[in-house]
Amino acid sequence: MSTIKKNSGVIAAGLALFSMFFGAGDLIWPLILGGQAGDQNFLAMTGLLITGVTLPLLGLIAMMLFQGDYRAFFGQTGRIPGILLIFIIQSILGPFGSIPRLITLSFATLKPYLPEMINLATFSILGCILIFLFTLKRHRVVDIIGLVLCPLLLIALGSILVLGFTSPPASIPMGLSNGQAFTQGLNTGYNTLDLIASFIFAPLVLTYFRHDQQAKDQAAEKSLVIKKMFKSCLLAAFLLGGMYIGLTYIASYYTPLLPAGHPPEERLAFISLHLLGARGALFSCLAVSLSCLTTAIPISIITADYIHKDLMKGRGRPVWAIFISLGLSALIANVGFMGIAAMLSPILQILCPGLILLCIFNILHKLYEMRMRRMPLFATFILSFLGYLVRFV
């Protein structure tokens, strides 16, 4: 019985991690990539798996070695750079990136089923209220997401993918070279925000395991928590990779059959409509809504904690931090999905190479006591910035 309980905790955490990662970007960008790659989808998908699955797994492992303390993790770069990096990452994942993007995608998918009086602004407010209600049960968020919401998400998406792979049309040549397709896949993985999310989601799941662990030996407890977390990370990575493969291939088959000029955030709904008909398209709405909800809940909790502890210095009630985070999210959501993507893209292209190097340095520091090399790290950020500027010269 105890073995079943232990395994159920690992499974719940793994499913929760997958659901947290699998949000708006993880649904939309693979579909965009598959539609652009066409017959070169294998190479594009391979690039996506590297930056969209392998790198988040690297980030989770690095954070595990720091016991989920992202302040200590980023503090290795120095006090001021560490504070700045934490602020940027919390802003991207919270009110200026992930949460408004999730709200926008939910609206685009549910729009055909909503009353005409509900526009994006109204939907943003209603969505933030729903997210707020779930944050009130924060101590049960991993169980709620992992054991209830995630299975529903997998069933909904799995139904679309199974039908999509039944007698699909041939992929259309898109004129991309092997290198172009692979590079597009790498860049798409950055846009999912999964590498950045790994730094923030790891502490939430580690706290879940620590809460359930009853070992008397502190060293044994630490080792057991790390093992459970690692198994959960592998399960989440496996599910994430499977969904990326399925979505990119579905998009490579069916995107040419869709109406010209359709918004990318509505692509899954169009594909579902083509495969399942008007009634079956409800599956896509369910899938998108659930993925957005299961990602927005933990992000809102983590962002609110950061605002209350770091920016408000513990003053005032924590609930005000949630109001601030969700209020800003509702405002930014009105920029639209692609508007938010355009705002985030240059930041991610500059930030991600340095974060990858930081993960590697921190892992080497913890495993082999290697001293942090700050100059190569800062040089990477500078070169990424200069490389981005060169594109516009």
Question: Is the pLDDT assigned to residue 232 strictly greater than 90?
Answer: no
Contact (CB, 8 A) for 103 and 265: no
Question: Is the pLDDT assigned to residue 146 strictly greater than 80?
Answer: no
- Cα separation, 214 vs 194, whole angstroms: 31
Work out the average pLDDT over 197-215.
73
Q: What percent of the chain has pLDDT over 90?
A: 24
Give the homologous superfamily in CATH for domain 2-340.
Amino acid/polyamine transporter I (1.20.1740.10)
Structure tokens at 278: 């008007």
Question: Is the pLDDT assigned to residue 247 strictly greater than 50?
Answer: yes
Work out the average pLDDT over 63-67.
88
Other Cβ atoms less than 10 A from the Cβ of 132: the count is: 17
Residue 221 confidence class, pLDDT cut points 50, 70, 90: low
Instruction: Give me the chain's average pLDDT, please.
Output: 83
Residue 371 confidence class, pLDDT cut points 50, 70, 90: confident
Work out the average pLDDT over 257-270.
78
Work out the average pLDDT over 369-385.
88
Work out the average pLDDT over 244-250.
90
Mean pLDDT lowest for which of 17-26, 123-132, 365-374?
17-26
- Cα separation, 193 vs 237, whole angstroms: 14
The domain limits of the chain are: 2-340
Question: Is the pLDDT assigned to residue 1 strictly greater than 50?
Answer: no
- Cα separation, 32 vs 28, whole angstroms: 6
Q: What percent of the chain has pLDDT over 70?
A: 89
Question: Is the pLDDT assigned to residue 172 strictly greater than 70?
Answer: yes
Q: What's the confidence (pLDDT) of residue 82? A: 93
Question: Is the pLDDT assigned to residue 215 strictly greater than 60?
Answer: no
Q: What is the CA radius of gyration of the chain?
A: 21
Question: Is the pLDDT assigned to residue 125 strictly greater than 80?
Answer: yes
DSSP three-state, residue 22? coil
- Cα separation, 206 vs 64, whole angstroms: 8
- Cα separation, 288 vs 293, whole angstroms: 9
Contact (CB, 8 A) for 141 and 265: no
Say which residues have a Cβ less than 8 Å from residue 189's Cβ, sequence separation at least 6. 47, 48, 49, 50, 51, 52, 53, 55, 195
Q: What's the confidence (pLDDT) of residue 393? A: 57
Q: What's the confidence (pLDDT) of residue 218? A: 63
Residue 139 confidence class, pLDDT cut points 50, 70, 90: low
Strands (DSSP E) found in the chain = none
Q: What's the confidence (pLDDT) of residue 369? A: 82
Residue 324 confidence class, pLDDT cut points 50, 70, 90: very high
Question: Is the pLDDT assigned to residue 41 strictly greater than 60?
Answer: yes
Question: Is the pLDDT assigned to residue 50 strictly greater than 60?
Answer: yes
pLDDT tens track for 153-165: 777 778 778 878 8
Work out the average pLDDT over 289-297.
78
- Cα separation, 294 vs 64, whole angstroms: 22
**Burial, 25: exposed, middle or buried (Cβ in 10 Å; 0-12, 13-18, 19+)?**
buried
